[in-house]
């Protein structure tokens, strides 16, 4: 993952500060994709952004942050050690921490300079005698492989699992429902704005039998989810205008004008076991904010 990609992810992390699920997803991507060096951390300031979540109220998030920081410290220490040993001529330079072993099949995928699909990757999709099922597997493979460096066999096996799960979902019958479902899955996977979905499926975070049952909202790109969430919150704030009388209290201080004349109301914006979200409006300057 390069510096530009990391900076984009940091920007997303700042926008989802109230969405714990999205925070966990982004942190896991950073943990799995970033190989830290001292220069890289200074350039991207990713350590500062992630470290802000060390004291997050969600235990899973705070623990994951601690694990990531420890991992990056170890990687930086190892990188410095290698540079020092190379400078003194003690040993030759070793490959980066996360570089894949020189397996022939993997290397061919890494240096592949054509659009990845079964034909270009040297595969023949003849898993079944039915051409529709084989075509579905081929379509899934092409979608999953479009920006991946995994080996052809790894991607093929995941494609076969997805198709087989879909086939069973429709009682092992090739009908319009099966075909429409396969088209929908492939289109979502081919979406260039949704690399997170492909990544989660390829690294096993989303299992094939779960993937085929996900709703359109769950399949949507992370950026679209953020936009929809922000629109939802904006609508909630705007809806306050329809309320004739709002509760006013001096318990809250406006962060803008520091006055204590604040109206508020509460809504359940997340799952039932999560706390209510409190929406506040300063009656003096009109500043709005929310907290859980």
The boundaries of the domain holding residue 119 are: 104-222
CATH of the domain at 259: 2.20.25.10
In this structure, is residue 98 part of a structural domain?
Answer: no
In this structure, is residue 94 part of a structural domain?
Answer: no
Indicate if 69 and 123 belong to the same structural domain. Answer: no
In this structure, is residue 229 part of a structural domain?
Answer: no
Res 28: pLDDT: 79
Indicate if 71 and 166 belong to the same structural domain. Answer: no
Indicate if 111 and 77 belong to the same structural domain. Answer: no
Res 38: pLDDT: 86
Task: Decide: 278 and 18 in contact? Cβ < 8 Å.
Answer: no
Indicate if 212 and 132 belong to the same structural domain. Answer: yes
Domain boundary among 88, 116, 133: 88
Task: Decide: 193 and 149 in contact? Cβ < 8 Å.
Answer: no
Indicate if 112 and 215 belong to the same structural domain. Answer: yes
Distances in Å between the alpha carbon of 144 and those of 11, 191, 280?
25, 10, 44
Backbone angles phi, psi at 220, to 5 degrees: -65, 150
Task: Decide: 35 and 75 in contact? Cβ < 8 Å.
Answer: yes
The count of structural domains within the chain is 3
Question: Could you read off the pLDDT tens digit of each residue along the chain, which spans 292 residues?
Answer: 677 777 877 777 777 777 787 788 788 788 888 888 888 888 888 888 888 888 888 888 888 888 888 888 888 888 888 887 777 765 554 455 444 444 344 434 344 557 899 998 889 898 899 999 999 999 999 999 988 888 999 999 999 999 999 999 999 999 999 999 999 999 989 888 888 888 999 999 999 999 999 887 788 777 766 666 666 666 666 655 554 456 788 889 999 999 999 988 888 777 767 788 888 999 899 899 888 7
pTM over 0.75: no
Res 244: pLDDT: 44
Indicate if 67 and 117 belong to the same structural domain. Answer: no
Q: Collapse the DSSP code of 22 into the 3-class scheme (helix H, G, I; strand E, B; otherwise coil) and give the result.
A: helix
Q: Collapse the DSSP code of 228 into the 3-class scheme (helix H, G, I; strand E, B; otherwise coil) and give the result.
A: helix
Res 230: pLDDT: 67
In this structure, is residue 29 part of a structural domain?
Answer: yes
Indicate if 254 and 157 belong to the same structural domain. Answer: no
């Amino acid at each position: 993952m390069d510096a530009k990609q990391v900076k984009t992810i940091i920007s997303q992390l700042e926008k989802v500060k109230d969405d714990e699920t999205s925070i966990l997803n982004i942190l896991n991507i950073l943990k799995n994709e970033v190989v830290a060096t001292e220069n890289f951390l200074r350039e991207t300031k990713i350590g500062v952004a992630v470290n802000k979540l060390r004291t997050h109220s969600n235990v899973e998030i705070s623990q994951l942050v601690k694990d990531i920081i420890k991992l990056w410290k170890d990687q930086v220490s190892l990188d410095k050690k290698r540079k020092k040993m190379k400078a003194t001529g003690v040993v030759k330079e070793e490959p980066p921490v996360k570089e894949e072993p020189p397996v022939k099949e993997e290397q061919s995928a890494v240096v592949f300079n054509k659009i990845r699909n079964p034909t270009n990757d040297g595969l023949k999709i003849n898993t079944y005698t039915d051409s529709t099922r084989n075509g579905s597997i081929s379509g899934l493979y092409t979608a999953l492989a479009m920006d991946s460096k995994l080996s052809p066999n790894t991607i093929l096996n995941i494609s076969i699992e997805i198709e087989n799960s879909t086939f069973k979902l429709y009682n092992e019958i090739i009908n319009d429902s099966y075909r429409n479902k396969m088209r929908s899955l492939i289109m979502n996977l081919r979406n260039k704005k949704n690399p997170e979905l492909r990544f989660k499926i390829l690294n096993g975070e989303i299992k094939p039998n779960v993937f085929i049952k996900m709703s359109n909202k769950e399949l949507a790109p992370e950026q679209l989810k953020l936009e929809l969430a922000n629109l939802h919150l904006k609508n909630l704030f705007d809806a306050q205008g329809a309320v004739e009388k709002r509760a006013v209290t001096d318990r809250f201080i406006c962060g803008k004008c520091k006055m204590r004349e604040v109206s508020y109301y509460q809504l359940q914006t997340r799952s039932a076991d999560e706390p209510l979200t409190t929406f506040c409006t300063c009656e003096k300057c009109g500043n709005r904010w929310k907290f859980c």
